[in-house]
Structure 1
Amino acid sequence: MRALREAAANRAQDSGSDEESGSDNESGSDDGSGSDVGSGGGDGSDSDAESAVSSTHSPRPSPPRPVARASVATTSRVKLPPKADAKGKASTVFDTPRVAANATFESLGLSQPAIQALATLSIKAPTEIQTATIPAMLAGRDVIGGAKTGSGKTLAFALPILERLARDPFGIAALVLTPTRELAYQLAEQFLAVGKPMGLTTETIVGGMDMLAQAQALERRPHIVVATPGRLCDLLRSDGVEQGKLRRVRTLVLDEADRMLTPTFAPELAYLFEQIPKSRQTCLFTATISDAIMDLAKRPPPPGKQAPFVYRVASDTMTVEKLKQKYLFIPSQIRDPYLYYLLLNPPSDIDAVLAAPRPKPKPKPTKRGKRARSATPEDDTPHIVPTIIFTQRCATAQLLHLILEELDIPSVPLHSHLTQPQRLLSLARFRAREVPVLVTTDVGSRGLDIPEVAMVVNWDCPRRADDYVHRVGRTARAGRGGVAVTIVTERDVELVQSIEKEIKVTLAELELPESTVLENLNRVSAARRMAAMEMSDSKFGERKAINQAKAIKRARRDAAK
């Protein structure tokens, strides 16, 4: 990407003279757990916060020369890549046996009730990660599983849990911890989809919902508890929940383990590990094997216990082959009209099935004497392919949502400034394709399985390769195709180059007709002004800041007792 390298050099020379002010005057990012703090009209400060864009209109950078996508090699021999230490020596390589290409769920050890439940969901054959890890989990071994997004990791741990539950249905069989509320609800739904015919009961314990009702739910001893760590800790520490509720947990699962094993969740995880038996089975599943996970895999097992079964699906890249990854190199000041044009004119190589308009529902029959009403009002709303737009900040997500609404593009927001019912409603409407666009922070990047997403747009360039992988993994799922477009501004050149190097994929250039794009500049600018006024009138972020201040006061008061 010669032009991007040249832009990086020019950026280094001009960095001292840039005036930093911009229309998106927010700071901070959504961490997926609702911990970001609003300040005035934006979010709380965060070390990953993006600097404000320049307010002066610079000429459009010369686009990078189109480059070929890196070739992808596959191998049937699975190894975790060697990790070099500070002295440059490669650490131990974890090796796993070959996986049978013609494996069936029956050959993996699942019983007929589970197989029949899978058949009703049109799931007929296991994926590679399922073929590798299900037998190990059924044998009671600790498991570390790594596979790309959309490869069936959830069923890889859900099916063994359900199979063992069918043999011993007493008490809480498994505790599944996730970093985000939305992922927790999704996992519970997937457990029920397979396990409901077998009499499975689940409870979802997350923040933002009635704490008393959740305490009562734990009292009922469900088979599966899916929770975020913070709320579960609060429940166990409260007077309303008897200590020892988790003493019968046989399997602990950390989903999105790379995110869970960070300092953010360390205190809660340490407390929860004390509440469940040390003899438990522990399973970690993730799309990205982090250093913390590698360190866990290398530790000698406790006396009388086997070393964990470690499996990572072999690939030369961190993203799926059917995902077309592109970048759009434009000045930061004119991202709005480019986004508008991109939504109306998606790339031509987008998945044809996902891009096809859904047939409108037929009008419902009415009683005699009443006029039939059409299911949806006739309008000239253009067809928009199912799209997820990712931003760094809550305020940016809300602002883009309002801008799109002003431009007659239906959308829903998803970020931690919304209440939990509002977040669930946004997801439900997008899943049902009532609206074609979901504008979200990274709260929506982890694990959400919405197979019909045709395009992902990174409005803000991700700060880390891991975040990029999880974002673009919301499309090209379950064998379908998908397109991911990352908007690269003059300040993002080094970021995107670093991401390309780590994921081992070279992004292709997406060229859009600048003159046609800018024809809508005035309309889009007016929409931004109206959206900004609406956010100001609604005092966006103030409620969260007030609640956060109250929480800090309560914590200080409790600590002083």
Structure 2
Amino acid sequence: MSFTSLGLPPWMAECLKNIAITKPSAIQEACIPPILDGRDCIGGAKTGSGKTIAFAAPMIAKWAEDPFGICGVVLTPTRELAIQIADQFAALGSGVGIKTCVVIGGVEMTKQSRDLKEKPHFVIATPGRLADEIRSNGEEILPGLRRAKFLVLDEADRLLSSSMADDLATCIGALAPPEKRQTLLFTATVTDSVRALKNQAPKAGKKPVFVHEVASDEVAIPATLTQSYLFIPSYVRDAYLYSILTHEDNTSKSAIVFVNRTATAEQVRRTLEKMEIKTVSLHSEMPQRERINALAKFRAEVARVLVATDVASRGLDIPVVEMVINFEIPADPDDYVHRVGRTARAGRRGESISLVSEQDVTLIQGIEERVGQKMEQYGKIDDDDVVNNTLRPVSMAKREAIMDMDRDGFGELRKTREKKRRLKEAASAAVKNEKKKHRKKKGSS
């Protein structure tokens, strides 16, 4: 099977070849023909299976037939994923001169507004910032958005969560109605909210939704991934993490360390740096420029360790990752699947290690049930060695890291953002009340 046999033009197949992609993956083979045929699509596939090309290649091919203003809007939950998707659009459209516009938080809003008004061909955005642009600029950008022929929800299960509902509704409300555009949903986790969309009756004049799901017997975890755990007291996590990273078998391995909170990500990064491990972090408290630089350093292997919240667990393709360490266990087993999916990609081998405390046993049992296999105990770390040689210096480094965070005022960005969120909610509630009063007044007159 070739890309041209799926209906893509030869020039697109050549672009794919230039980025070392010569054979369609399962999801590309399944979804490209129906998208080219004008059908709405729900694409579910394992992480690392090539979902972005499955929607980007046919969208660019359709745009090239009739180039005009905004052809497609791609919504995705994280800034880093938006940037990565935009890079892939640019690579695939390099020979035909497509223009993309990335609309994300942490970047100057004025420039993004100007870029939107210039009607790029593809808009790749996070719902929160695009919704802000729509509310701020109104009719200046709405005509361009309304002409978009495609709407893509990437990592659809996250986008359809209640936390993004209002912003997502604002974004979708600015586009053409469903019967006048193609809607493409892609996700590694086909949740009930995603699955419910496939049962909706097709709009007038539209073909039924095409659905491609991971087969029920496919294993969510790659066969090339080794999963293990260390059962430890919760107060010595940092010492065991350091011991894992500095074990002679691991000193040359690149690793992502996942945590549950932004403050923990910052504390762990600073602690490891004080212990002379080249480390960067990725979390929502960081300015966008720092987030971009951190990812660039990790991809270039300037830093060996990336400490991140789940902002890094979705969709990011970082080929160098050899090990994933769950410093803290996620509450949702699907989040575990996404985390460990950052390694053992495209047939490469990878390793995941989970630090399990007495409070985490139930979470680990849920994860093991979700992935259909038991974790093995990680046997390379000697408890006595950790207590005698590692615990004291790491504890001192951790205390210094926490003191540095207090001195630097870590967390102020979150407080500012929370204040803005409350003000936005209050303004939204005031507008709704005014509309309600207006309707009542109109009804009584």
Same fold, TM-score > 0.5, yes or no:
yes
Which residue does 2:63 correspond to in 1? 165
Q: Which amino acid aligns with 2:170?
A: Y
Q: Which residue of 1 aligns with 2:185?
A: 284
Q: How far apart are the structure 1 equivalents of 2:5 and 2:423?
A: 57
* Post-superposition CA distance 1:429-476 (Å, at most 9, x none): 111111111111111111111111111111110111111111111111
Deviation, 1:479, is 2.2
Query: 1:555 Cα deviation (Å)?
Result: 5.3
Q: Does 1:104 align with 2:104?
A: no
1:301-340 matches, cutoff 5 A: 301-314=202-215, 315-340=217-242
Residue 265 of structure 1 is matched in structure 2 by 164
- In 2, Cα distance between equivalents of 1:558 and 1:108: 46
State the one-letter code of the partner of 1:421.
Answer: R
Q: Please state how far the C-alpha of 1:553 moved relative to its aligned partner.
A: 4.2
- Write out per-residue CA displacement over residues 191-238 of structure 1, whole angstroms, 9 at most, x where no aligned residue: 112211221110100111111111110111111100011111111121
Q: Following TM superposition, by how much is the alpha carbon of 1:415 offset from its aligned partner in structure 2, in angstroms?
A: 0.9
d(CA) in 2 for partners of 1:242, 1:219: 6
Contact 2:319 2:345 in 1 (8 A): yes
Structure 2 CA distance for aligned equivalents of residues 114 and 490 of structure 1: 53
Is residue 149–residue 181 contact of structure 2 (8 Å, CA) maintained in 1?
yes
The correspondence for 1:457, drawn from 325, 329, 335, is 325
Equivalent positions of 1:247-396 (< 5 A) are: 247-278=146-177, 279-314=180-215, 315-345=217-247, 383-396=251-264
Aligned-pair distance for 1:275?
Answer: 1.7
Gaps of 5+ in 1: 1-102, 349-354, 356-382
2:401 aligns with 531
Shift of the alpha carbon at 1:344? 1.5
1:222 corresponding residue in structure 2: 120
Contact 1:128/1:313 (CA < 8 Å) preserved in 2? no
Tell me, yes or no, if structure 1 residue 515 matches structure 2 residue 384.
Answer: yes
Q: Name the Cα RMSD after superposition.
A: 1.7
Shift in Å at residue 242 of structure 1? 3.7
The C-alpha deviation readout for 1:477-511, integer Å capped at 9, x for no partner, is 12211111111111100111011112222222212
Q: Distance in 2 between matches of 1:553 and 1:104?
A: 53
Describe how 1:17-32 pairs up with structure 2 within 5 A: none
Q: 1:547: Cα distance to partner?
A: 4.5
Contact 1:150 1:476 in 2 (8 A): no
Within 5 Å, give how 1:162-241 maps onto structure 2.
162-239=60-137, 241=140
Residue of structure 2 aligned with 1:418, choices 283, 286, 302: 286
The code of the aligned residue for 1:138 comes to L
Letter of the aligned partner of 2:298 in structure 1? F
After superposition, the C-alpha distances for 1:275-302 in whole angstroms (9 at most, x for unaligned) are 2122211111111110101111112222
> Is the alpha carbon distance of 1:435 and 1:143 closer, same or farther for their aligned partners in structure 2, counting shifts above 3 Å?
same
Q: CA offsets, 1:77-133, max 9 Å, x none?
A: xxxxxxxxxxxxxxxxxxxxxxxxxx1111111111111111111111111111111
Letter in 2 for 1:508: E
> C-alpha distance in 1, partners of 2:371/2:151?
29
The structure 1 segments of at least 4 consecutive aligned residues displaced by more than 4 Å after TM superposition are 557-561
Q: CA deviation at 1:324?
A: 1.5
Pick from 141, 150, 157 the counterpart of residue 48 of structure 2: 150
Contact 2:69/2:144 (<8 A) preserved: no
The amino acid of 2:366's aligned partner reads: S
Q: What amino acid sits opposite 1:244 in the alignment? A: P
- Which position in structure 2 is the counterpart of 1:400? 268
CA contact (8 A) 2:113 2:137 kept: no
Q: What is the CA distance between 1:345 and its match in structure 2? A: 2.1
Aligned to 1:371: none
Cα deviations by residue, 1:155-203 (Å, 9 ceiling, x for unpaired) = 1111111111221111111110001111101110111122112211101
Say whether the 8 Å CA contact 1:175–1:226 is kept in structure 2: yes
Question: Who is 1:482 aligned against?
Answer: 350
Q: Give the 3-state SS of the residue equivalent to 2:293 in structure 1.
A: helix
Asked whether the equivalents of residues 144 and 310 of structure 1 are also in contact (C-alpha less than 8 Å), the reply is: yes
One-letter identity of the residue aligned with 2:210: F
Distance 1:335 1:216 in 2: 47
* Identity fraction in percent: 46
Aligned partners of 1:556, 1:235: CA distance in 2, in Å? 18
Q: How far off its partner does 1:327 sit?
A: 1.5
Alignment-derived partner of residue 541 in structure 1 = 411
Q: Is the 8 A contact 1:412 1:435 kept in 2?
A: yes
Structure 1 stretch displaced more, 544-553 or 489-498: 544-553
Structure-2 separation of matches of 1:384 and 1:535: 29
Contact 1:316–1:504 (CA<8 Å) still a contact in 2?
no
Contact residue 275 and residue 394 of structure 2 kept, 8 A = yes
1:552 aligns with 2:419: no
**Amino acid corresponding to residue 263 of structure 1 in structure 2:** S
| Structure 2 residue 331 is the aligned partner of structure 1 residue 432 | no
Structure with the higher fraction of residues in helix conformation:
2
Decide which structure has the larger Cα Rg and report it.
1
Compared CA separation, residues 554 and 116, structure 1 to 2 (3 A): closer
Give unmatched runs, 5+ long, in structure 2.
Answer: 432-445
- Cα–Cα, structure 1 residues 550 and 108, in superposed 2: closer, same or farther, change >3 Å? closer
Query: Aligned to 1:427, what secondary structure does the other structure show?
Result: helix
